[in-house]
Amino acid sequence: MLPTPSHLPIANLSTTSVIILSTVILYCLKTFFSYRSAVRSTGNLPGWHTFIGSFGLVGFLFKKPRGKLIGGSLRAWYRKHLDFQEAGQDIINHIYFVPFVYQEVVVADAAVIKEITSQRAKFPKPPYNELRLYGGNIIASEGDEWKRHRKVSAPAFSERNNRLVWEETVKIMTDLFDNVWGEKEKVVYDNALDMTLPIALFVIAVAGFGRNVSWQSDLVAPSGHKLAFKDALRVVSRDLYTKIVTPKWLFHLAPTKHIAEVKLGCEELEKYMAEMIEDRRAAEKKEERYDLFSSLLDASDAESDGAVKLTDNELLGNIFIFLLAGHETTAHTLCFTFGLLALHQDAQEKLYQHIKSIVPDDRPPTYEEMHLLTESMAVFYESLRMFPPVLGVPKLSTEDTTLATSDHAGKKVVVPIPKGMVVGINICGVHYNPRYWEDPYTFKPSRFHGDWPREAFLPFSAGARACLGRRFFETEGIAILTMLVSRYKIDLKDDPEFAGATLEEIQEILFEIRQGITIAPARVPLVFTRRQ
């Protein structure tokens, strides 16, 4: 007997259900076998296994880890060394299941990290194509391309450039004290980033681009531009993350006011940089300049070998990367540092007394005195240890190999690393590892006096791919920190959020971080009081 029309929907529903159920079963079976294969490939390495991972687009939708369900894109920050502590060793697995099985071996063993970073051919860096905003550059390249970028870029970070950084930073801070804060006894910021971001921006403008800007300058865009140079620089450095995560086609359409502003900032900054290249090449008399832009341009133009010379787009790409590294990381680190000193008044007083012992009068410190400011460096380094700009560095194994570590009981553990495996250097895991740092959750600048575990200090990464601008960054940071603490006392702003909270609770509130290219404090409310 043929089915009646009333029977057909039931039959169709049954068929659809079977297809869906079969698909789910097949997906589960595939996921299970992929998971088992992943676990076996690294010798049943312990670690954390979550439904939704810490990486990729899906992972970035969730900030904090939540048990076995969500890894959390900021897991390295919130867990620090705890995942390694629970696993009983400093090389562990991270495996997640959605949207597919993904595995990464994560390392917090300083000796193993040294082995990884010293073998560039064996453990190269994956390409950062999203950072090729203006062109190829030293961060987004690898292999021969990276060598070419480094050969041209390295001479730009010279002693003369470092001196320029110090001297211009002193001018910018003096301008802040004299012409912005003026005669005020107290200066209050709801978020200290509102101070540190402009300072770092002005320093990178002059030491990176050779453009003198100040708190009062560049108020109007010049002819042919829609934004002043300072404003274009500020927009791009502040909203780079928007540019990176927005698909190219959507960014081009600029469907929202925010994206349109970022798009305009990127276009204006590119136009300014192109004009600088053209102007300096066309100039009849070559001025001797020590800013990064001029040094890169001179070094590239001097090369006759086409394999070494950078294209104009690559010049733009590199100076843009130096803008990002030299601006955002400095501003964020200083904001964390000022917050820590506000919380730890004894450490602030010790720093102040040390500065006055080196610079007893009211004059600014000189570049020649930088090496004497050991307490400033210790405070700066301790801030970088507790708040590393980048939480992790990925590497890619190009061959089947092994990594040897010891578990927390002292037993040797050999971990197989298959070809193609991502090996993540967990910087937070190392910086909070009690094997290297006594009482790692405590702010203790004194740990950076005398001998300290340099191989376990990785805010600048390590090996050949370590930060090329480290000295630039340190010079700027030490000058700003020293000048500010010598003139002003730093305190927490009286904020309702802190009412009745313990020191640990205040620190947790104060140092809530937000996600970006580098970690940034969400809000650090501070008061700066003129010293008598």
- 281: which 2 tokens? 């090449």
DSSP string, 84-110: HHHHTBSEEEEEEEESS-EEEEEE--H
Strand partners, 489: 529
CA distances (Å), origin 63, targets 52, 69, 99: 11, 13, 17
Torsion region of 66: left, alpha or beta (phi above 0 gives left; psi -120 to 50 gives alpha): beta
Residue whose structure tokens are 């194994």: 397
DSSP 8-state symbol, 450: S
Is 467 a known ligand-binding residue?
A: yes
DSSP 8-state symbol, 182: T
Dihedral (CA of 478, 484, 490, 494) sign: negative
SS3 314: helix
CA distances (Å), origin 459, targets 59, 385, 455: 24, 7, 11
- Taking each helix axis from N to C end, the angle separating 229-238 and 257-282, rounded to the nearest 10 degrees, works out to 130
CA distances (Å), origin 498, targets 28, 411, 525: 48, 45, 11
How open is the CA angle 93-94-99, to the nearest 5 degrees?
A: 145
- 211: which 2 tokens? 């453009």
**CA 198, 530, 472, 141: dihedral to nearest 10 degrees?**
-40
* C-beta atoms surrounding 445 within 10 Å: 23
SS3 496: helix
Q: Residue 273's Cα: distance from chain center in Å?
A: 24
426 with 76: CB under 8 angstroms? yes
Residue whose structure tokens are 């191989």: 455
- Parallel, antiparallel or unpaired: strands 488-492 and 526-530: antiparallel
Residue whose structure tokens are 């259900």: 17
Known binding-site positions for heme: 467
Known binding-site positions: 467
